[in-house]
Structures are given as C-alpha cells and as structure tokens.
Amino acid sequence: MQAAKEGVLPGGDPWSGNMVLEGMLEEVRGFHEQPTEVKEEHYSREMKRKVKDITMEYSNEACRLAATLFELQSEAPGLKPDNLRGMDCAKGHALLSHYYPACP
C-alpha cells in the first residue's frame, strides 16, 4: 500500500518530520528560556539564521507530508494521484508559532 510505503500509516518508516519538529522546538525553547540579558547579548543574525534554518526544514517536511496526503485523498475515490495537486490544492501554506513559558 502506498500509504505504508510513505510512512503515513503504520508499517511504514516513521515520518522524519518528528525529528525535525523536536529540533525546531529545542532551538526555539532554548532561545526563549534564557535570561533576558543573555538573549539580548546573543540575539544576532546568527541566532535568527539558526532558528530560521530548522523552521524551514520543518516546513519542507510538512509540505512533503501534505503532498502525500493529497495523493492519498485523490487515489481513494479512484482518481489520479496528482488530481488535487493539479487543482492547486497543495499550493502554499503558512507556518505560525508562538512561545509561552511554562507556568510557575
């Protein structure tokens, strides 16, 4: 079954996005949980780039998963795998994140 090969259903490889998500959360949490003085000292283009890189990697993995899910949704009623993609259903996405420190 295609879904199992793609790692969407049990029996396939786990979605590599899980490791990417953990990396993204670790970078964001690591930055925000520092004391304000430390953040101000290290807030630089380098810090922005590090968080941006892992966020872009996560975004790419999410897009890959979405493309697979659109193919499966197309195949379910007997259509061609690229049917929904051809209708631009998989075009564009937004990624938003918020950070709230743990409650005391």
13-33, pLDDT tens digit by residue?
A: 455 557 777 887 887 788 778
Q: Where are the domains of the chain?
A: 16-104
Predicted confidence at residue 5, as pLDDT, reads 52
pLDDT exceeding 70 applies to what percent of the chain? 72
- Dist CA 51 CA 54 (whole Å): 6
State whether residue 103 is helix, strand or coil: coil
What percentage of the chain's residues is helix, strand, coil (to nearest 5)?
60, 0, 40
* The two three-digit tokens of residue 16, written as one number: 């590599």
* Higher-pLDDT residue of 31, 70: 70
Q: Is the pLDDT of residue 82 over 80?
A: yes
- Whole-prediction pTM: 0.58
